[in-house]
Homo-oligomer: A and B are copies of this chain.
């Protein structure tokens, strides 16, 4: 499950290409194309930031269409670029449409990188003949690397699944997570499948899977101007039916997105630990989600993770200010299986049991609110010196 395995190329019906366009830096893949052999249904999930980039606007306008290709550039976000930025994205997709022999409205575009700079449109257009002519399944291996900004490793994942209509595959790649790097924002995720799913089903299944995976991770709590996740599935007169077939697709999709989410958060800047924050016993789903997010985003909790400190007081305090209903006398907190607080009573700490958990690369913190049955989980990381260093030392 690394970017070198060409998991994208294993999905029939899609081809790929990537070039060193020199958009901001020389000598790196920074512009790529995912093209479908036949028109696809597309589902998209986008940043909720009111300051959203031109390509986000373009994707929002077009995901209702049948889609043939996605153009992706790294190192320039095309954000805070006004009407000119939008016109540039439209011109690039129109030019590529001509090369691919489809309509401009059938091409999506995503960008990630520095904010406030116009794309070098002429240089990018000059790459289009190469991008269009070099399409191959083999080049699927290049996409995870071409979309990276400060990611340290390319990320891809896939699942195959069996239906009454045969065996299908879902594969995806992702870059960045949260706004993790100086001006190099954005989570972008691209998922493809050869399973034919109706537009309506695709939207529902994708929204649900994203909410249970990508929307349950946090590194720094910031939300970018460009966050986008896209899913393409071939359009068909006979899409997968609702019952078992769609369920197996939904399961494979969610597992793929979960793998990508774990890779994302594990590659968070300067992160040394991957921590699952599990809230149980909340009065309702909203409370569970609020408490899990507050704990997972607390700077004090995250620095304690880095310091190998089983600081249940900070965890309890974060749950306490989350807005979730909470009563000290019902609250329990565990690191792994080791209880630190049981129904409001601090426990004598079993250092022998705690030490290996705290020193580990991955562990789970469980917060049992003790008021109901609702649960929620977040994946988070620690905050290390390296995080501050990476984010402070960049100068525009």
Q: Which residues of A contact B (CB under 8 A)?
A: 47-52, 79-80, 82, 114-117, 179, 182-183, 185, 220-225, 298-300, 303-304, 306-314, 316-321, 324-329, 331, 341, 344-346, 349, 383-385, 387-389, 391-396
Q: Which of B185, B299, B318, B392 contacts A307 (CB 8 A)?
A: B392
Q: Which residue from chain B places its CB closest to the CB of A186 in the assembled complex?
A: B317
Inter-chain contact B396/A310, CB cutoff 8 Å: yes
In the bound assembly, the distance between CA atoms of A224 and B299 in angstroms comes to 13
Inter-chain contact B49/A222, CB cutoff 8 Å: no
CB neighbours (8 Å) of A116 from chain B are 312-313, 341, 346
Q: Which of B50, B80, B316, B349 contacts A51 (CB 8 A)?
A: B316
Interface CB pairs A-B, < 8 A, 30: A48-B321, A49-B321, A50-B326, A51-B326, A51-B331, A80-B341, A80-B346, A115-B316, A116-B312, A182-B309, A182-B311, A183-B314, A185-B313, A221-B298, A222-B298, A223-B320, A223-B321, A225-B320, A299-B391, A303-B391, A304-B391, A307-B393, A308-B395, A309-B394, A310-B396, A383-B388, A383-B392, A384-B388, A385-B385, A387-B388
Inter-chain contact B317/A223, CB cutoff 8 Å: yes
Q: Which of B225, B327, B388 contacts A317 (CB 8 A)?
A: B225
CB neighbours (8 Å) of A300 from chain B are 179, 220, 222, 391
Oligomeric state, in copies: 2
CB neighbours (8 Å) of A307 from chain B are 182, 391-395
CB neighbours (8 Å) of A392 from chain B are 303-304, 306-307, 309, 383-384
Inter-chain contact A317/B51, CB cutoff 8 Å: yes
Inter-chain contact A328/B49, CB cutoff 8 Å: no
* Given contact pairs A183-B313, A300-B222, A346-B116, A321 touches B50 in the complex (Cβ within 8 A): yes
CB neighbours (8 Å) of A310 from chain B are 396
Inter-chain contact A314/B179, CB cutoff 8 Å: yes
* Given contact pairs A115-B316, A306-B388, A311-B396, A82 touches B344 in the complex (Cβ within 8 A): yes
Q: Which residue from chain B places its CB closest to the CB of A326 in the assembled complex?
A: B50
CB neighbours (8 Å) of A47 from chain B are 321
In the bound assembly, the distance between CA atoms of A7 and B196 in angstroms comes to 76
CB neighbours (8 Å) of A49 from chain B are 317, 320-321
Q: Which residue from chain B places its CB closest to the CB of A47 in the assembled complex?
A: B321
Inter-chain contact B396/A317, CB cutoff 8 Å: no
Extra pairs beyond A51-B321, A383-B392, A384-B388 (20, CB < 8 Å): A49-B320, A49-B321, A50-B320, A51-B326, A79-B313, A80-B344, A82-B329, A114-B313, A116-B312, A179-B314, A221-B299, A222-B299, A222-B300, A222-B318, A222-B321, A224-B317, A225-B317, A299-B391, A310-B396, A384-B392
Inter-chain contact B222/A320, CB cutoff 8 Å: no
A347 to chain B, nearest CB (A): 9
A311 to chain B, nearest CB (A): 6
CB neighbours (8 Å) of A389 from chain B are 385
A336 to chain B, nearest CB (A): 16
Q: Which residue from chain B places its CB closest to the CB of A48 in the assembled complex?
A: B321
Inter-chain contact A115/B50, CB cutoff 8 Å: no
In the bound assembly, the distance between CA atoms of A64 and B205 in angstroms comes to 55
In the bound assembly, the distance between CA atoms of A303 and B392 in angstroms comes to 5
CB neighbours (8 Å) of A223 from chain B are 317, 320-321
Inter-chain contact B182/A317, CB cutoff 8 Å: no
CB neighbours (8 Å) of A220 from chain B are 299-300
In the bound assembly, the distance between CA atoms of A331 and B346 in angstroms comes to 49
In the bound assembly, the distance between CA atoms of A345 and B383 in angstroms comes to 34
A271 to chain B, nearest CB (A): 13
In the bound assembly, the distance between CA atoms of A52 and B326 in angstroms comes to 10
Q: Which residue from chain B places its CB closest to the CB of A382 in the assembled complex?
A: B392
In the bound assembly, the distance between CA atoms of A179 and B304 in angstroms comes to 12
